[in-house]
C-alpha cells in the first residue's frame, strides 16, 4: 500500500567504524564520545540512520568482531554511559541507531568459552562445537578458516577440536544448543531495551547449528585462480553451503531474533551473509518470520565492476527481490577497498574524475530498491590508502598474507576533519592506531562541508530531493535495467510517480525525469 513502508525499507544508513572515526581522548583511537561529537555532521548529510561497527569489550584481535562481553563497552571506546549519551543525541537529531551484533562466534576470552574449554562436563561444555579427532588424529572435516589454515583447533584440556570459521581466537558458538540461542536473544533484548533501533548481524551465514557428524565441503570445480589473494586461498577451492556455511538449521536463530524484534516497535534486523549462491541465501534468511533484510554484496566486488558488471549485479538481486525492502545495497565497507579507488581503476578513469564518479555511485545505490549503506568517507570521495607499512599493519588477515596482500587496513585509516589540524583533526596523539593518509587531507570533512561544490554538499542536496520523490520513498518497485554500454537506466515506480533514473558513466552525471 502507498506510503506504508517501514523506516528501514528506504533508509540510507551511514556506517561508522568507531576506531577510525573521531578520537576524543587523544589516545590515537576513535571512541564513542568522538562519534557523539560528529553526529551533527552525519545528520546534516541527510541520512536516516547510523550503523556502528562493534564497540563491545574485546581483546581486539579482529577489532571488535571477537566479542568478550556483548553487554559492555571496550574501555578504548568508552562506557555504557557514553553509549547512552550517543543514543540520546542521535535520536534528538532524528537518526536511528543500529549496532553490529556478532552472533556466530565470540572471543576465546569470553567467559562462555573460558568455561567451556576446561572440561567435557561443565555447564558450558556444549556451548561451542567440540569434536573428537579422527582415528589418525586429524580434524573431523576438511573445513578451512577464511583467514587461512584449518577451521579446527586443538584444545588439550578437552582432547578435542573446536570450530572457528575465522581466527582461532574466534570460536564458533553452538547454535544447536537452545541455551546459546536464548543467550543471544538476551543480548538482543539488552540493546533493544536501551533504545537501539536495529542490528546489523555480522556473518550470519557462518552460524553453525548442525551437530556431528559434520559433512565435508565439496570441491569447487569452477574455481579459477585469481590475481587477488582472497581468490588464491584454498578456502575458495571449496563449496561451503549447507556443510560449513548457510546451514538450514541457522534459521532457528533468524526466527528467534525476529520474534524478539517484533516484541518491540520499529526494530530492524539486517543480516550480513554470503555463500555459493548469495541470492538463494538471502531468500532463505528473509523468508516470512525471519530477518527483515540482508546486506547485499553484489556491488562490493573486490576488484570493482565495469558497467556491464554493475548491470548484472543489480539485475541479479532485483529480479528476485523487486517490490520489497529485503535488500540493503552498498559499494563500500570496512572489509573491501573503497569504491572511489576500485571503481576508478576498473573503469579506467583518472583521479581527476574521482569526485564525479563517487557522487554518481552514491546516487545510483540510493536509487535502488531497499536500503543503502554508506561507509564513512564515501561522502568525501576518499580513496583507499595506497600502502600501509608492514610494521604498522593491524588487520590479522593482511598480516597473514603480507606483503602480497595489504588486507583491510587500507580502507580503515582514520577520518580527517580539518586539513590544518594535528592528525587532520582525528586526534592530537603523536601516533594513531593506523596512519593518517595524507591524501585525505585535501578532502577533510569539515573543510568539505564548507566547500559548496563538494561531494558532501552535492550528496546532501540529492538526499533532500530524494525524500520528496514518491517513486523512491513510497514503494520498492523498479523496472529492469537498460541503457547503452556506458549507462544504466531504470524506472522507479509508484502509484503517484514514475521516475526515469539515468546514470551516465561517460559524463559521470545522473539525470532524473518524471514519466
- pLDDT tens figures, 349-379: 999 999 999 999 999 999 999 999 999 999 9
Top-confidence residue, 233 or 55: 55
Instruction: Kindly give the residue spans of alpha helices, DSSP state H, lying in 293-436.
Output: 307-321, 339-347, 354-367, 396-401
In whole numbers, what is the pLDDT of the chain averaged over residues? Answer: 96
What pLDDT was estimated at residue 224? 86
Distance, CA of 509 to CA of 212 (rounded, Å): 55
Distance, CA of 137 to CA of 129 (rounded, Å): 17
E strand residue ranges, 171-236:
198-201, 218-219
Q: How confident is the model at residue 230 (pLDDT cuts 50, 70, 90)?
A: low
Strand partners, 73: 56
Strand partners, 514: 499
CB 384 within 8 A of CB 50: no
What pLDDT was estimated at residue 418? 98
Q: What are phi and psi of 479, to 5 degrees?
A: -80, 175
Q: What are phi and psi of 472, to 5 degrees?
A: -95, -25
Distance, CA of 62 to CA of 166 (rounded, Å): 9
Residue 347 has pLDDT above 50, yes or no: yes
Strand partners, 105: 172
How many C-alpha atoms does 4 have within 13 Å on its Cβ side?
5
Residues 60-80 have a mean pLDDT of 97
Active site residue 115: no
Q: Report which of 250, 321, 312, 333 is spatially closest to residue 292, judged by C-alpha positions.
A: 321
Q: In what order do the strands lie in the sheet with 130-131?
A: 130-131, 160-163, 152-155
CB 203 within 8 A of CB 273: yes
Distance, CA of 325 to CA of 257 (rounded, Å): 19
Q: How many CB atoms lie within 10 A of CB 180?
A: 21
Task: Quote the DSSP letter at residue 501.
Answer: E
What pLDDT was estimated at residue 3? 57
Q: How confident is the model at residue 229 (pLDDT cuts 50, 70, 90)?
A: low
Residues 424-434 have a mean pLDDT of 97
Residues 212-236 have a mean pLDDT of 84
SS3 call for 488: strand
Residue 420 has pLDDT above 80, yes or no: yes
Distance, CA of 287 to CA of 293 (rounded, Å): 9
Q: Residues 476-485: pLDDT tens digits?
A: 999 999 999 9
Residue with cell string 528473509: 286
Give me the CATH code for the 8-105+178-208+241-472 domain, please.
Answer: 3.20.20.80
Active site residue 272: yes
**Which residue in 202, 378, 447, 448 is the catalytic one?**
202
Residues 11-22 have a mean pLDDT of 98
C-alpha cell at 261: 524484534
Residue with cell string 582472497: 230
Distance, CA of 246 to CA of 459 (rounded, Å): 36
Residues 61-90 have a mean pLDDT of 98
CB 337 within 8 A of CB 411: yes
What pLDDT was estimated at residue 157? 97
Beta strand 152-155 pairing with 160-163: antiparallel
How many C-alpha atoms does 304 have within 13 Å on its Cβ side?
19
CB 209 within 8 A of CB 247: yes
Distance, CA of 261 to CA of 333 (rounded, Å): 25
> Which of 61-75, 230-244, 292-306 is most confident?
61-75
Percent of the chain at pLDDT > 70 equals 98
Peptide linkage before 408 cis (omega within 30 of 0): no
**Which residue in 9, 272, 365, 447 is the catalytic one?**
272
Distance, CA of 37 to CA of 426 (rounded, Å): 12
Residues 320-341 have a mean pLDDT of 96
The DSSP code sequence of 460-487 is HHHHHHHTT-HHHHT---B---B--TTE
Task: Quote the DSSP letter at residue 103.
Answer: -
Chain centre to alpha carbon of residue 214:
29
Residues 139-163 have a mean pLDDT of 96
* H or E stretch covering 56: strand 56-57
Distance, CA of 370 to CA of 318 (rounded, Å): 10
The set of residues, in sequence order, having a beta carbon less than 8 Å from that of 166 and lying 6+ positions away, is 62, 65, 105, 145, 146, 147, 206
CB 325 within 8 A of CB 6: yes
User: Given CA atoms 446, 450, 452, 458 in this order, what sign does their dihedral have?
Assistant: positive
SS3 call for 96: strand
Amino acid at each position: 500500500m502507498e506510503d506504508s513502508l517501514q523506516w528501514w525499507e528506504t533508509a540510507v544508513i551511514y556506517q561508522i567504524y568507531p576506531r577510525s572515526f573521531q578520537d576524543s581522548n587523544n589516545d590515537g583511537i576513535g571512541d564513542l564520545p568522538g562519534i557523539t561529537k560528529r553526529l551533527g555532521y552525519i545528520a546534516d548529510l541527510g541520512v536516516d540512520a547510523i550503523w556502528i561497527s562493534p564497540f563491545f569489550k574485546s581483546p581486539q584481535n579482529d577489532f571488535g568482531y571477537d566479542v568478550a562481553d556483548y553487554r559492555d563497552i571496550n574501555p578504548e571506546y568508552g562506557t555504557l554511559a557514553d553509549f547512552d549519551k550517543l543514543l540520546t543525541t542521535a535520536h534528538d537529531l532524528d537518526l536511528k541507531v543500529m549496532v553490529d551484533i556478532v552472533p556466530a562466534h565470540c572471543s576465546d576470552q569470553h567467559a562462555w568459552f573460558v568455561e567451556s574449554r576446561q572440561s567435557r562436563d561443565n555447564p558450558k561444555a556444549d556451548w561451542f562445537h567440540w569434536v573428537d579427532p579422527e582415528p589418525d588424529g586429524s580434524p573431523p572435516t576438511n573445513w578451512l578458516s577464511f583467514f587461512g589454515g584449518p577451521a579446527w583447533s586443538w584444545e588439550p584440556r578437552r582432547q578435542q577440536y573446536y570450530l572457528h570459521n575465522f581466527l582461532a581466537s574466534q570460536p564458533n558458538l553452538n547454535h544447536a544448543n537452545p541455551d546459546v540461542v536464548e543467550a543471544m536473544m538476551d543480548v538482543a533484548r539488552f540493546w533493544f531495551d536501551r533504545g537501539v533501533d536495529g542490528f546489523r548481524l555480522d556473518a550470519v551465514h557462518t552460524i553453525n547449528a548442525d551437530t556431528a557428524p559434520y559433512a565435508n565441503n565439496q570441491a569447487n570445480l569452477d574455481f579459477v585462480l585469481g590475481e587477488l589473494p582472497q581468490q588464491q586461498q584454498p578456502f575458495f577451492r571449496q563449496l561451503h553451503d549447507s556443510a560449513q556455511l548457510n546451514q538450514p538449521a541457522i534459521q532457528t536463530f533468524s526466527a528467534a531474533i525476529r520474534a524478539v524484534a517484533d516484541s518491540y516497535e520499529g526494530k530492524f534486523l539486517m543480516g550480513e551473509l554470503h555463500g555459493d549462491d548469495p541470492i538463494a541465501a538471502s531468500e532463505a534468511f528473509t523468508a516470512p518470520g525471519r530477518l527483515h533484510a540482508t546486506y547485499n554484496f553484489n556491488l562490493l566486488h573486490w576488484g570493482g565492476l565495469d558497467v556491464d558488471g554493475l548491470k548484472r549485479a543489480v539485475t541479479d538481486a532485483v529480479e528476485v527481490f523487486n517490490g520489497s525492502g529485503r535488500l540493503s545495497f552498498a559499494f563500500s565497507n570496512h572489509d573491501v577497498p573503497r569504491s572511489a579507488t576500485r571503481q576508478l581503476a576498473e573503469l579506467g578513469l583518472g583521479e581527476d574524475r574521482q569526485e564525479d564518479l563517487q557522487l554518481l555511485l552514491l546516487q545510483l545505490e540510493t536509487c535502488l530498491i531497499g536500503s543503502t549503506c554508506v561507509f564513512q568517507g564515501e561522502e568525501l570521495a576518499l580513496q583507499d590508502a595506497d600502502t600501509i607499512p608492514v610494521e604498522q599493519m593491524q588487520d590479522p588477515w593482511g598480516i597473514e598474507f603480507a606483503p602480497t596482500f595489504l588486507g583491510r587496513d587500507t580502507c580503515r585509516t582514520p577520518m580527517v576533519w580539518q586539513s590544518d589540524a594535528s592528525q587532520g583533526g582525528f586526534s592530537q596523539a603523536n601516533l594513531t592506531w593506523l596512519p593518517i593518509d595524507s591524501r585525505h587531507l585535501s578532502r577533510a570533512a569539515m573543510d568539505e562541508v564548507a566547500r559548496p561544490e563538494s561531494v558532501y554538499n552535492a550528496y546532501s542536496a540529492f538526499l533532500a530531493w530524494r525524500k520528496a520523490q514518491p517513486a523512491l520513498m513510497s514503494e520498492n518497485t523498479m523496472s529492469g535495467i537498460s541503457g547503452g554500454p556506458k549507462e544504466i537506466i531504470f524506472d522507479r515506480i509508484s502509484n503517484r510517480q514514475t521516475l526515469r533514473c539515468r546514470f551516465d558513466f561517460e559524463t559521470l552525471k545522473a539525470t532524473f525525469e518524471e514519466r
